[in-house]
């Protein structure tokens, strides 16, 4: 089920730096001027109802070539930022001294990042996070974020505004009604030292709502499972769901962020549609096409908007492209140019695999706050081509690295 | 052929389809589907409760014939018995002969369902499943179901084990089945035969699914049965409601009173080791003898080495190929590595005149292997592999019982009454054959491993005015 009113339309305008009110005006004027005007702007007109335009997901204003040029420009700018003594951080400046080459000279475009080896994420456990503070940001208070369900010393990343940028863009992508404007949110999932907790609250706030939280500690769940305490893990999950059900029953909540598994557990207790939920944003685990079908048809009863995403503390948020009715395979697109996903050969991670083939997911993050070249994720995915909304490569049917059988048939969805 | 999911009898097509070979694909259930269906399992139970158990037993007997002979729905096609044999053989690499033998076992379990259930309930009337009450002699007994669903995670290597869950339906307990990856056919064919014979379709869930889906099925149903290795046993040990059929480590123990007649038993021992391709947990994997160890090993090895790889459709085929050649390679490598440690000898090597692992007829085989071990401590002396494999160990009779460890089947070749008494009191033996019988001998009135009736039903004390029940 797709949104019923103006949706991702705003993403193209956000590149132009327009505000939400400007967008609303634009919709009105666009409607008045008619369909052809809208198509010029790459908007997709779905249907008209009660004299109100029904829109969702717009084409990107960029061509494939322009998107590539944008990434190359971002690469040059971020390399210059992170490897200049005036702006860079101690970690990368020291790295450049040891490496014996100056990235500012060798790296003139994204392809030149192959001069870097794959980023070793152990660095994020071993190094003091303060060594990643860009000189230009010295003195500004910062957040320390940790990655998900690890045990032992966690991986840490510092940040200032990146999460706001990512989630503002996500919000604009889905427009005012997919997640109703002004509605309150409930997040059921890992909070604690995670970026996600602040990101969801930011998302709720910029859309005019407040956010309630129910915490789930994935480290404790991992430990319980490691100890063979499956029953206790189940009891803990029930404890989390109990709290979520209580909030949903006693507060006005219309939007939900959670993991697919918790979402399903919630739906076993109550009809989410009857509880007033209008939009669900989920991520954090593998979602096969069947999983998506199941969530949409049975968990959400075909009545609730569903936004599956792929992301983590190191990347931000990759949005899944719109799907046709009966299409359940997910393809995610990184928030370029701030982060770039490639699907590379497990045997030679310098090379991307062909379209339609599985390979390992490689992430490069390039913002002023954080630089991480060519990190090999513990996931594999199908390399998918650009689409109307995102003129760059996507990653499809993401699953844990080397977990799958090659016998999964593509194209039956 | 696309094999669908059955959600309490209703066909469901998944968006995840796994291709098993160029002809067969299965729709894969996500775990949530199973959890959601279990919310409605009371409907399935009610559908079974509405039919007298005598009728259900009649249906089961009728289903036996349908299973053997009818064209039954298998996904988007109707599958006849010959198609079933070839399709299953192509996926599991069981030769046609063994598929037909397994069909026969399932047919027998279905057609003799009253005998089977009588064996499990010790002869109680089937009315126990209709009203929870019956008379045993002068005593009124009351049993009640402890679950409204039985989840079964099935293996790929032994179609006949499907006979173990069959009685649950006559006992009015709905079943949710996870077929083994290479055998989606057998449980589905049984289910379709039972539905066609009169069972309500709601009583059946059939879910080709992932390992996670299998875990969900077992832990979410009120009772579960799993098949697997020692790893499977350990995995489900914390779950008392899951009964695990693990490694059998079935053994033949020859007593001092029988050992001088050892030559008479060679054929029985060969059958015991190699029947069903040596894949079952009830195949003999160790033979303990008080003397004549080397002679017995040589004679057995000579006979076993005559069992050669043949094409799947050869009428004389006894050996199974491996659907996954890497597994054959792993087993072969493990045996070779353990042999190198010393204390054990592959006696068959000299007779077969070649390697254990053979590529033939477009598949990989492991040829029968008989290993003579110097002591019970050797790693090859008490293990089990998915092909005809056994060890022979010589030890005094009085030490045998203390050294067998947990064993699914013991065939004790003896008439020594005091030793038989010890065997009967041993907590390590699940099934006991007394006399020169192969370990794979099946008597339908005896429970296999655990008693399904006692697993699904508990007895309650019942006193007072029971005149309302006759």
Specify the pLDDT at position B218: 96
Specify the pLDDT at position B334: 96
Residue A6 has pLDDT above 60, yes or no: no
Specify the pLDDT at position A229: 86
Residue A15 has pLDDT above 60, yes or no: no
Q: Which CATH superfamily is domain B2-246 in?
A: Aldehyde Dehydrogenase; Chain A, domain 1 (3.40.605.10)
The average confidence (pLDDT) of chain A is: 84
Specify the pLDDT at position B138: 87
Query: Rounded to an integer, what distance in angstroms lies between the CA atom of residue B129 and that of residue B343?
Result: 55
Measured between beta carbons, the chain A residues lying within 8 angstroms of B37 are none
- Strand bridging mode A185-189 / A211-215: parallel
Q: What are the C-alpha distances in Å from B131 to residues B143, B171, B456, B469?
A: 9, 11, 15, 9
Which tokens belong to B70?
A: 């009818």
Cβ atoms of A333 and A323 within 8 Å: the answer is no
In this complex, is the C-beta atom of A266 within 8 Å of any C-beta atom belonging to chain B? Answer: no
Single pTM value for the model? 0.85
When CB atoms are compared, the residue of A289, A299, A409 closest to B25 is: A409
According to the 3-state scheme, what is the secondary structure of B64-127? Answer: HHHHHHCCEEECCEEECHHHHHHHHHHHHCCCHHHHHHHHHHHHHHHHCHHHHHHHHHCCCCCC
B131 C-beta neighbours (distance < 10 Å), count: 13
Specify the pLDDT at position B231: 85
- How far is Cα of residue A146 from the mean position of the Cα atoms in its chain? 16
The pLDDT confidence band at residue A151, using thresholds 50, 70 and 90, is low
Cβ atoms of A344 and A353 within 8 Å: the answer is yes
Section B150-165 average pLDDT = 92
In this complex, is the C-beta atom of A328 within 8 Å of any C-beta atom belonging to chain B? Answer: yes
Cβ atoms of A322 and A2 within 8 Å: the answer is yes
Q: Which chain A residue's Cα is nearest to B215? A: A230
Residue B247 has pLDDT above 70, yes or no: yes
The pLDDT confidence band at residue A47, using thresholds 50, 70 and 90, is very low
8-state DSSP, B231: H
In this complex, is the C-beta atom of A47 within 8 Å of any C-beta atom belonging to chain B? Answer: no
For the ranges A12-16, A262-266, B151-155, the lowest mean pLDDT is seen at A12-16
Q: What is the ipTM of this complex?
A: 0.85
Which tokens belong to B94?
A: 């069981």
Specify the pLDDT at position A33: 31
In this complex, is the C-beta atom of A264 within 8 Å of any C-beta atom belonging to chain B? Answer: yes
- How far is Cα of residue B259 from the mean position of the Cα atoms in its chain? 30
The pLDDT confidence band at residue A41, using thresholds 50, 70 and 90, is very low
The average confidence (pLDDT) of chain B is: 94
Higher local confidence (pLDDT), B269 or B279 = B269
The pLDDT confidence band at residue A404, using thresholds 50, 70 and 90, is low
Measured between beta carbons, the chain B residues lying within 8 angstroms of A405 are 18
Suggest the residue from B30, B33, B212, B213 to mutate for an interface test with chain A (most A CBs closer than 10 A).
B30
Residue A50 has pLDDT above 50, yes or no: no
Query: Rounded to an integer, what distance in angstroms lies between the CA atom of residue B22 and that of residue A311?
Result: 36
Residue labelled with tokens 């007994």: B141
Q: Which CATH superfamily is domain B250-434 in?
A: Aldehyde Dehydrogenase; Chain A, domain 2 (3.40.309.10)
Section B21-30 average pLDDT = 94
Query: Rounded to an integer, what distance in angstroms lies between the CA atom of residue A315 and that of residue A310?
Result: 9
Q: What percent of chain B has pLDDT over 90?
A: 86
Cβ atoms of B248 and B280 within 8 Å: the answer is yes
The pLDDT confidence band at residue A20, using thresholds 50, 70 and 90, is very low
Helices (H), B171-321: 185-197, 211-220, 230-236, 266-274, 293-304
Q: If you average pLDDT over each of A8-22, A334-348, B445-459, which comes out highest?
A: A334-348
Query: In the Cβ-directed half-sphere of B388, how many Cα atoms lie within 13 Å?
Result: 29
Cβ atoms of A321 and A387 within 8 Å: the answer is yes
Residue-wise pLDDT tens digits, B79-111: 999 999 999 999 999 999 999 999 999 999 999
Section A110-131 average pLDDT = 96
In this complex, is the C-beta atom of B219 within 8 Å of any C-beta atom belonging to chain A? Answer: yes
Measured between beta carbons, the chain B residues lying within 8 angstroms of A288 are 15-16, 30
Q: What percent of chain B has pLDDT over 70?
A: 98
The pLDDT confidence band at residue B278, using thresholds 50, 70 and 90, is very high
Specify the pLDDT at position A412: 26
In this complex, is the C-beta atom of B29 within 8 Å of any C-beta atom belonging to chain A? Answer: yes
Residue-wise pLDDT tens digits, A316-343: 899 999 999 999 999 999 999 999 999 9
The pLDDT confidence band at residue B235, using thresholds 50, 70 and 90, is confident
Interface size between A and B, measured as CB pairs under 8 A: 53
Which of A318, A308, A324, A301 lies closest to A257, judged by CA?
A308
Specify the pLDDT at position A405: 47
Residues counted in chain B: 470
Output phi, psi for A182, to 5 deg. 85, -5
In this complex, is the C-beta atom of B3 within 8 Å of any C-beta atom belonging to chain A? Answer: no
- 3-state SS of chain B: helix, strand, coil percent to 5? 40, 25, 35
The pLDDT confidence band at residue A38, using thresholds 50, 70 and 90, is very low
Which tokens belong to B50?
A: 């509405």
Q: Which residues pair with A395 in a beta bridge?
A: A332, A383
Specify the pLDDT at position A37: 30
The pLDDT confidence band at residue B70, using thresholds 50, 70 and 90, is very high
Section A91-106 average pLDDT = 96
Residue-wise pLDDT tens digits, B281-321: 899 999 999 999 999 999 999 999 999 999 999 999 999 99
Burial of B416 (0-12, 13-18, 19+ CB in 10 A): middle
The pLDDT confidence band at residue A25, using thresholds 50, 70 and 90, is very low
Residue B405 has pLDDT above 50, yes or no: yes
Cβ atoms of A339 and A37 within 8 Å: the answer is no
- A75-82's contacts with Cβ under 8 Å and 24+ in sequence apart are A75/A107, A75/A108, A75/A109, A75/A110, A75/A112, A75/A113, A75/A337, A75/A366, A76/A107, A76/A108, A76/A109, A78/A366, A78/A367, A78/A368, A78/A371, A79/A103, A79/A104, A79/A107, A80/A104, A81/A134, A81/A136, A81/A368, A82/A134, A82/A371
Section A235-254 average pLDDT = 97
Higher local confidence (pLDDT), A384 or A8 = A384
Residue-wise pLDDT tens digits, A362-387: 999 999 999 999 999 999 999 999 99
Between chains, do B17 and A231 touch, taking CB under 8 Å as contact? no
The pLDDT confidence band at residue B333, using thresholds 50, 70 and 90, is very high
Residue B393 has pLDDT above 70, yes or no: yes
For the ranges A160-164, A191-195, B340-344, the lowest mean pLDDT is seen at A191-195
Measured between beta carbons, the chain B residues lying within 8 angstroms of A230 are 219, 238-239
Q: What percent of chain A has pLDDT over 70?
A: 82
Domain boundaries, chain B: 2-246, 250-434
Between chains, do B39 and A293 touch, taking CB under 8 Å as contact? no
Query: Rounded to an integer, what distance in angstroms lies between the CA atom of residue A54 and that of residue A44?
Result: 9
Specify the pLDDT at position A22: 30
Residue labelled with tokens 């769940």: A221
């Amino acid at each position: 089920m797709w949104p019923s009113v103006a949706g991702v339309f705003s993403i193209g305008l956000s590149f132009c730096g327009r505000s939400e009110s400007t967008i609303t005006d634009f919709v009105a004027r666009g409607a008045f001027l008619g369909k052809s005007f809208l198509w010029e702007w790459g908007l997709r007109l779905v249907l008209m109802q009660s004299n109100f335009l029904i829109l969702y997901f717009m084409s990107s204003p960029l061509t494939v070539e322009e998107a590539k040029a944008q990434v190359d420009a971002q690469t040059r700018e971020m390399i210059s930022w992170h490897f200049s003594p005036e702006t860079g951080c101690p970690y990368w400046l020291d790295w450049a001294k040891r490496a014996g080459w100056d990235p500012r000279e060798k790296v003139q475009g994204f392809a030149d990042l192959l001069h870097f080896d794959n980023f070793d994420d152990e660095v994020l456990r071993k190094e003091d996070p303060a060594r990643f503070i860009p000189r230009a940001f010295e003195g500004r208070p910062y957040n320390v974020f940790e990655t998900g369900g690890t045990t032992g010393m966690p991986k840490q990343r510092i940040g200032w505004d990146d999460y706001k940028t990512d989630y503002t863009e996500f919000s604009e992508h889905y427009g005012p009604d997919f997640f109703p404007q002004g509605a309150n949110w409930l997040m059921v999932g890992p909070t604690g030292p995670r970026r996600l907790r602040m990101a969801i609250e930011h998302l709720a706030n910029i859309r005019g709502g407040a956010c309630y939280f129910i915490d789930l500690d994935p480290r404790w769940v991992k430990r319980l499972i490691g100890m063979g305490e499956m029953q206790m893990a189940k009891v803990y999950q029930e404890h989390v769901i109990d709290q979520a059900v209580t909030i949903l029953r006693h507060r006005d909540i219309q939007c939900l962020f959670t993991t697919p598994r918790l979402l399903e557990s919630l739906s076993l207790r109550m009809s989410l549609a009857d509880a007033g939920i209008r939009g669900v944003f989920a991520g954090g685990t593998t979602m096969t096409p069947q999983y998506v079908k199941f969530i949409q048809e049975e968990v959400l009863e075909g009545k609730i908007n569903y936004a599956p995403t792929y992301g983590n503390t190191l990347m931000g948020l990759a949005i899944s492209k719109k799907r046709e009715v009966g299409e359940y395979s997910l393809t995610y697109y990184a928030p370029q140019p701030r982060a770039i996903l490639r699907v590379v050969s497990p045997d030679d991670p310098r090379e991307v695999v062909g379209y339609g083939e599985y390979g390992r997911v490689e992430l490069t993050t390039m913002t002023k706050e954080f630089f991480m070249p060519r990190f090999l994720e513990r996931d594999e995915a199908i390399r998918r081509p650009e689409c109307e909304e995102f003129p760059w490569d996507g990653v499809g049917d993401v699953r844990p690295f080397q977990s799958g059988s090659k016998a999964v048939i593509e194209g039956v969805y | 052929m696309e094999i669908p999911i059955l959600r309490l009898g209703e066909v469901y097509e998944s968006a995840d389809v796994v291709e098993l070979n160029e002809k067969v694909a299965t729709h894969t259930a996500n775990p949530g589907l199973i959890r959601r269906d279990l919310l409605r399992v009371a409907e399935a139970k009610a559908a079974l409760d509405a039919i007298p158990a005598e009728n259900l037993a009649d249906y089961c007997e009728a289903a036996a014939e349908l299973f053997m002979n009818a064209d039954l729905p298998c996904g988007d096609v109707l599958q006849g018995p010959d198609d079933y044999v070839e399709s299953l053989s192509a996926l599991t690499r069981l030769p046609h002969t063994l598929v037909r033998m397994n069909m026969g076992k399932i047919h027998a379990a279905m057609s003799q369902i009253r005998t089977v259930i009588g064996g499990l309930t010790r002869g109680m009337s089937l009315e126990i499943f209709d009203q929870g009450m019956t008379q045993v002699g002068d005593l009124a007994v009351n049993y009640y179901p402890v679950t409204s669903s039985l989840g079964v995670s099935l293996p790929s290597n032994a179609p006949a084990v499907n006979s173990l869950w069959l009685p649950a339906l006559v006992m009015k307990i709905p079943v949710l089945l996870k077929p083994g990856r290479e055998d989606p056919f057998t449980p589905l064919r049984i289910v379709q035969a039972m539905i066609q014979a009169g069972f309500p379709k709601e009583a059946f869930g059939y879910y080709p699914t992932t390992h996670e889906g299998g875990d969900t099925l077992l832990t979410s149903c009120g009772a579960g049965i799993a098949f697997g290795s020692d790893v499977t046993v350990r995995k489900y040990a914390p779950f008392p409601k899951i009964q695990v059929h693990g490694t059998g480590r079935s053994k033949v123990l020859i007593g001092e009173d029988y050992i001088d007649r050892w030559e008479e038993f060679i054929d029985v021992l060969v059958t015991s080791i190699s029947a069903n391709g040596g894949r079952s947990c009830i195949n003999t994997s160790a033979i303990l003898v008080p003397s004549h160890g080397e002679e017995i090993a040589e004679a057995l090895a000579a006979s076993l080495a005559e069992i050669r790889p043949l094409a799947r459709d050869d009428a004389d085929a006894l050996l199974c190929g491996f659907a996954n050649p890497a597994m054959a390679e792993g087993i072969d490598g493990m045996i070779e590595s353990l042999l190198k440690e010393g204390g054990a000898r592959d006696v068959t090597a000299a007779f077969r005149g070649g390697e254990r692992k053979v590529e033939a007829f477009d598949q990989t085989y492991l040829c029968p292997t008989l290993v003579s071990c110097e002591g019970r401590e050797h790693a090859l002396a008490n293990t089990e592999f998915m092909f005809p494999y056994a060890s022979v160990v010589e030890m005094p009779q009085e030490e045998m019982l203390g050294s067998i460890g947990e064993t699914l089947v013991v065939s004790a070749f003896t008439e020594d009454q005091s030793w038989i008494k010890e065997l009967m009191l041993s907590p390590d033996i699940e099934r006991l054959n007394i006399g020169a019988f192969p370990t794979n001998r099946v008597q339908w009135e005896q429970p296999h491993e655990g008693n399904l009736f006692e697993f699904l039903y508990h007895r309650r004390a019942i006193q007072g005015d029971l005149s309302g029940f006759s």
